[in-house]
């Protein structure tokens, strides 16, 4: 038909917006930049189910779970390797040995080789898993069980490596805890996004329930000792804040 323009030569305003190269970039041959993010699975926010029930019995085993989020862009990948060196350093592992890395199904994991596939990921998570009774637990088995419970709660397999440290302090003669690095990608290949409340409360609940199942509930004597330690730590924080307030914290 006369005057009709072939479809390949028409312009689509929506597509044209994406085809314009970003400032400072060099477009590929033909003067057009590729469409961004095509083929990447959609991100799913995981761990958003409402937490039910209270904190549990006062006699439950206690655990601390500290989570941090780290981007891999720029210097982030080099910092990931630096963190692995920190985890593996001599004298930090159980009974002052070097901490050997492990994963869900393997011991002696070569961590630096394993995370090479993570270089182009958006981010990764670092977790410190510290049950109060870590000296009574097989921490490698406990960490694997914790991560399996995490997978069930989040609805995805997780790729991770971990090492066990011991760092004695006044309250814990051995203070056995795990350093876990979790890849920021789910089993569908999308960015792993975890709900804020799950990070703040759900992960600790998993850790405490798991420790309680393995060791049983605390006795009254153990609970009294736990409450005394907590009160002592609270007092130390108040005293430290007071020293900072009157300038003595900078001696």
Q: What is the pLDDT along the chain (251 residues), one digit of tens a residue?
A: 554 544 444 444 433 343 344 444 444 444 444 444 556 788 888 987 766 666 678 999 999 999 999 999 999 999 999 999 999 999 898 877 888 999 999 999 999 999 999 999 999 999 999 999 999 999 999 999 999 999 999 999 999 999 999 987 766 667 899 999 999 999 999 999 999 999 999 999 999 999 999 999 999 999 998 899 888 888 888 888 888 776 655 44
Q: Is residue 162 part of a domain?
A: yes
Which residue range forms the structural domain that includes residue 185?
44-50+57-215
Q: Is residue 191 part of a domain?
A: yes
Number of domains in the chain: 1
Q: Is residue 28 part of a domain?
A: no
Q: How far apart are the first and last CA of the chain?
A: 89
Question: Within its chain, how far is the Cα of 21 from the centroid?
Answer: 35
Q: Is residue 37 part of a domain?
A: no
CB atoms near residue 9 (< 10 Å): 6
The whole-number pLDDT of residue 20 equals 43
Tokens of 187: 């089993």
CATH of the domain at 166: 3.30.930
The whole-number pLDDT of residue 251 equals 43
Write the secondary structure of the chain as one string of H (helix), E (strand) and C (coil): CCCCCCHHHCCCHHHHHHHCCCCCCCCCCCCCCCCCCCCCCCCEEECCCCCCCCCCCCCCCCEEEEEEEEECCCCHHHHHHHHHHHHHCCCCEHHHCCCCCECCCCECCCHHHHHHHHCCCCEEEEEEEEECCHHHCCHHHHHHHHHHHHHHHHCCCCCEEEEEEECCCCCCCCCEEEEEEEECECCCCCEEEECHHHHHHHHHHHHHHHHHHHHCCCCHHHHHHHHHHHHHHHHHHHHHHHHHHCCHHHC
For the range 164-169, what are the long-range contacts, defined as Cβ-Cβ under 8 Å and sequence gap of 24 or more? Answer: 164/93, 164/94, 164/99, 164/139, 164/140, 165/87, 165/92, 165/93, 165/94, 165/99, 166/92, 166/93, 166/94, 166/95, 166/96, 167/92
Q: Is residue 107 part of a domain?
A: yes
Q: Is residue 164 part of a domain?
A: yes
The whole-number pLDDT of residue 172 equals 67
Tokens of 226: 């736990």
* Closest CA relative to residue 239, chosen from 230, 229, 250, 249: 249
Check if the beta carbon of residue 247 is closer than 8 Å to that of residue 101.
Answer: no
Tokens of 94: 């159980």
The whole-number pLDDT of residue 10 equals 43
The whole-number pLDDT of residue 25 equals 44
Q: What are phi and psi of 180, to 5 degrees?
A: -120, 135
Q: Is residue 69 part of a domain?
A: yes
**Tokens 């609940």 found at:** 205
Q: Is residue 18 part of a domain?
A: no
| Residues 130, 117: Cα–Cα separation, whole Å | 28
């Amino acid at each position: 038909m006369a005057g009709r323009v072939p479809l390949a030569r028409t312009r689509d305003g929506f597509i044209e917006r994406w085809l314009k190269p970003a400032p400072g970039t060099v477009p590929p041959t033909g003067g057009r930049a590729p469409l961004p993010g095509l083929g990447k699975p959609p991100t799913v926010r995981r761990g958003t189910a409402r937490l039910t029930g209270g904190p549990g019995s006062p006699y439950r085993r206690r655990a601390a779970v500290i989570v941090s989020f780290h981007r891999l862009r720029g210097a982030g990948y080099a910092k990931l390797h630096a963190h692995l060196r920190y985890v593996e350093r001599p004298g930090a592992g159980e009974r002052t040995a070097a901490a050997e890395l492990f994963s869900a199904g393997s011991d002696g994991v070569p961590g630096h080789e394993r995370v090479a596939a993570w270089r182009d990921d958006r981010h990764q998570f670092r977790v410190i898993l510290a049950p109060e009774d870590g000296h009574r637990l097989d921490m490698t088995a406990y960490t694997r069980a914790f991560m399996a419970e995490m997978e069930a709660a989040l609805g995805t397999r997780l790729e991770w490596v971990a090492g066990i440290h011991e760092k004695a302090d006044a309250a814990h003669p051995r203070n056995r805890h795990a350093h876990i690095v979790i890849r920021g990608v789910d089993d569908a290949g999308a960015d792993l996004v975890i709900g804020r409340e799950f990070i703040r409360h759900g992960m600790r609940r998993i850790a405490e329930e798991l420790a309680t199942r393995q060791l049983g509930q605390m006795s009254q004597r153990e609970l009294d000792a736990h409450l005394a330690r907590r009160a002592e730590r609270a007092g130390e924080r108040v005293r430290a804040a007071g020293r900072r307030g009157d300038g003595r914290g900078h001696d």
